[in-house]
Amino acid sequence: SNMAALPREWPLVGMFPSLVANLHRFHDYSTAFLAASGGSFVFRGPSLSGMRFFFTCDPANIRHIFVSNFTNYPKGVEFAAIFDIMGDSFFNADGESWRRQREKVQHLVSSPQLLTYMAWCCRDKVEDGLLPFLSRSSHAEVPIDIQELFTRFTFDMTARSVFGVDPGLLSVDMPPLTVPNAMEAVMDVGFFRHTVPASCWRFMKRVKVGPERQLAAAQLELRRFVAEMLEKRRDGPVHVDEVREERNEEIVSSYLHDPEYSDENGRPNAFLYATLINYMFAGRDTAGMSMTWFFYNLIKHPHVVSAIRVELAPIAMHKAATSTGNNHMVIFDPEETKPLVYLQAALFESMRLYPPGPIERKTVMADDVLPSGHRVQRGETILIALYSMGRMEGVWGEDCHEYRPERWVKEDGKLLHVPSYKFLAFNAGARSCLGKHISVVQMKSVIAAMVWNFDFEMLTRHVVEPKPSVVLKMKNGLLAKVHKRRVE
Ligand code: HEM
């Protein structure tokens, strides 16, 4: 193993100086010390601060923590304090409250009306927003930021599913990204709060300085946004869509008349606000980031693009023969792209290397010994490094750093099943993502429409790297040129 990759420990300050020096490249830094220490590592901050993290990316430990001994590893109260904007909602909750909330979400995301509505929201945004935007950019020959495009796209689509209202961030006038920026600030400051002793950020919060001041403004903006959406929803005929001529079943409608989510006057309470904000976080940038990194990998690997087009060709040919109009662009229905194995392999391979949530956090309830042999103590914090797990030779083989969709395809041509404790992008065990199926199906159809109708070319000299955050956002975006494809 490579000892040079291990952080140096100093008297009093512990490994804190090493962390500070490597903060700008945090995910690669932690990958290096995890690889050098066999997949698990105890990080000690200043001795008096109580800052101490048990890092792991060992699938055996992850299985133990997320699946077999799930009840011994809650998120914990410190997690809920760090993401305080989510209040008591499902992202922060543990125990009985979490179980009840999860049941409600589960019921909701299996309702055919909601699924139909969400599928329609996605398709409509592709047809009326995404493809026209790409068409205009292709004509104008100006580079676009694919990350920003997906931010706008997933924001509109998610807000529609949650509130039944379209905020119109992907409209022709390209309004400012005030609310998505506020959401990004929550995640950036969530990361910052992990990198300093807890007493330190709490003090900064109290006196409102630095990142804490920025976070307070962002939280205000998010609550204002929810109020505005609820207002618009009540006022307008917005939620009864004239195009579809049927009642929409957006997410909020299942909460509005629930006494647990209203105050004594029947108005939305703080719990409902937190829950709606939570939904916006759950479904929006997760999909946006997955698709952005997917495009990054596609642009770098043209043969993967060709292979995807080969898979799409039979569907597209059939459509070209049967459909007319739409500016000669082909749109794929989720039902059509759902069975495509290579497209899914290429997407999962991208999410293996670039999981939108690169770290998970758990707390230890009772002292325990992990499968790796490490002892963990009550109250200790465990950080699970998903980004690093994709880069462990012991887990994924010597070619783990390579983007290679083929590793997901079995000899019989079917998709390889990888257990979730080894491919953790959608979480594993009892708390696994409830939107996985919906978003995989949607992302495949969105990517298919883009890849079939357009060519993308990355700007030379544009540097792509993740910024230090609890989500895997690109620091400088993903700048690319777009060309309309001519398909004979
Ligand atoms: C590419 C898209 C997505 C990815 C990568 C993703 C990933 C994840 C991850 C990692 C978690 C665990 C978070 C944690 O406990 O710390 C999670 C939880 C969750 N996700 Fe997703 N998600 C995606 C899309 C969605 C969508 C579209 C929805 C909503 C329809 C959704 C609903 C949920 C819910 C409700 C939970 C909480 C589960 C629980 O705590 O019991 N997700 N997701």
Q: How does pLDDT run along the chain (488 residues), one tens digit per residue?
A: 577 789 999 999 999 999 999 999 999 999 999 999 999 999 999 888 888 999 999 999 999 999 999 999 999 999 999 999 999 999 999 999 999 999 999 999 999 999 999 999 999 999 999 999 999 999 998 899 999 999 999 999 999 999 999 999 999 999 999 999 999 999 999 999 998 888 999 999 999 999 999 999 999 999 999 999 999 987 654 444 555 555 568 999 999 889 999 999 889 999 999 999 999 999 888 999 999 999 999 999 999 999 999 999 999 988 876 655 556 799 999 999 999 999 999 999 999 999 999 999 999 999 999 999 999 999 999 999 999 999 999 999 999 999 999 999 999 999 999 999 999 999 999 999 999 999 999 999 999 999 999 999 988 788 899 999 999 999 999 999 999 998 75
Rounded CA-CA distance 182/472 in Å is 16
pTM: 0.95
Rounded CA-CA distance 334/291 in Å is 16
CA of 303 relative to ligand 1 center, distance in Å:
31
Q: Report the phi/psi class of residue 39: left, alpha or beta, with left for phi > 0 and alpha for psi in -120 to 50.
A: left
Query: Is the CB of 159 inside a 6 Å radius of any atom of ligand 1?
Result: no
- Nearest by Cα to 384 from 73, 88, 36, 2: 73
Residue 274 DSSP symbol: H
Tell me if 433 is assigned to a ligand binding site: yes
Whether the predicted interface score ipTM is above 0.90 = yes
**Which three-class secondary structure state does DSSP give residue 360?**
strand
Residue found by looking up tokens 């992202």 in the block: 91
**Which three-class secondary structure state does DSSP give residue 260?**
helix
Could you give the dihedral angle defined by the CA atoms of residues 301, 305, 306 and 312, in that order, rounded to the nearest 10 degrees?
Answer: 160
**Which three-class secondary structure state does DSSP give residue 434?**
coil
CA-CA-CA-CA torsion sign (233, 102, 355, 205) = positive
Query: Is the CB of 282 inside a 6 Å radius of any atom of ligand 1?
Result: yes
pLDDT at 248: 62
Query: What separation in angstroms does the CA of 176 have from each of 162, 181, 435?
Result: 21, 9, 28
CA of 154 relative to ligand 1 center, distance in Å:
14
- Reported in sequence order, the residue ranges of 325-470 that DSSP labels E, i.e. its strands, are 359-363, 368-369, 375-376, 381-385, 454-458
Could you give the dihedral angle defined by the CA atoms of residues 74, 60, 437 and 404, in that order, rounded to the nearest 10 degrees?
Answer: 140
Q: What residue owns the CA closest to ligand 1's atom 31?
A: 435
